[in-house]
Amino acid sequence: MKPTDISAPDYFHKVVDCQWACPAHTPVPEYIRLIAEGRYSDAYMINWKSNVFPGILGRTCDRPCEPACRRGRVEETPVAICRLKRVAADFKDDVKHRMPKPVAKNGKRIALVGGGPASLAVARDLAPLGYHCTVFDADPKAGGMMRSQIPKFRLPDTVIDEETDYILNLGVEFKGGHRIDSLKKLLDENYDAIFVGSGAPRGRELDIPGRKEVSANIHIGIEWLASVSFGHVEKIGRRVIVLGGGNTAMDCCRTARRLGGEDVKVIVRSGFEEMKASPWEKEDALHEDIPILNFMVPVAFKHVSGKLIGVTFQKVKAEYDANGRRNLVPSGEPDQTIPCDDVLVAVGQENAFPWIERDCGIDFDKWNMPQVDAKTFVSTNPKVFFGGDAAFGPKNIIWAVAHGHDAALSIHKMISGEDITERPLPEVHVSSQKMGIHEWSYDNDISGDKRYKVPHRDKVIALKDIRTEVELGYDVKLALGEAQRCLNCDVQTVFSAPACIECDACVDICPMDCITFTENGEEEDLRQRLKAPSPHHDQALYVAEGLKTGRVMVKDEDVCLHCGLCAERCPTGAWDMQKYLIDMTYAGSTCQTKARSAA
What residues line the site for other proteins (CB under 8 A)? 73-75, 438, 444-446, 448, 501-505, 507-509, 511-514, 532-533, 535, 548-549, 559, 561, 563, 565, 568-572
Helix axes 81-91, 28-36, angle to 10 degrees: 50
Give the C-alpha separation, 566 to 508, whole Å: 9
Residue whose CB is less far from other proteins, 291 or 535: 535
Residue whose CB is less far from other proteins, 263 or 576: 576
Give the C-alpha separation, 82 to 189, whole Å: 41
Q: Which residues pair with 553 in a beta bridge?
A: 517, 544
Give the C-alpha separation, 23 to 401, whole Å: 8
Least distance in angstroms from the C-beta of 267 to other proteins: 37
Residue whose CB is less far from other proteins, 6 or 507: 507
Least distance in angstroms from the C-beta of 6 to other proteins: 23
Least distance in angstroms from the C-beta of 548 to other proteins: 7
The number of residues making up the chain comes to 599
| Cβ atoms of residues 267 and 242 within 8 Å | yes
Question: Which residues in 76-117 belong to E strands, given as ranges?
Answer: 109-113
| Cβ atoms of residues 230 and 145 within 8 Å | no
- Please report, for the chain, how many H helices and E strands are present, in that order: 22, 24
Residue whose CB is less far from other proteins, 6 or 74: 74
Least distance in angstroms from the C-beta of 507 to other proteins: 8
Residue whose CB is less far from other proteins, 140 or 571: 571
Least distance in angstroms from the C-beta of 67 to other proteins: 16
Residue whose CB is less far from other proteins, 264 or 552: 552
Which amino acid would we find at residue 62? D
Least distance in angstroms from the C-beta of 35 to other proteins: 21
Residue whose CB is less far from other proteins, 363 or 508: 508
Which amino acid would we find at residue 462? A
Within 269-368, residue ranges assigned H as helices are 279-287
Least distance in angstroms from the C-beta of 501 to other proteins: 5
**Residue 366: burial class (beta carbons within 10 Å; 0-12, 13-18, 19+):** exposed
Contacts of 533 (CB under 8 A, 6+ apart): none
Residue 421: how many other CB atoms lie within 10 Å:
11
Residue whose CB is less far from other proteins, 219 or 485: 485
Give the C-alpha separation, 431 to 291, whole Å: 52
Least distance in angstroms from the C-beta of 32 to other proteins: 18
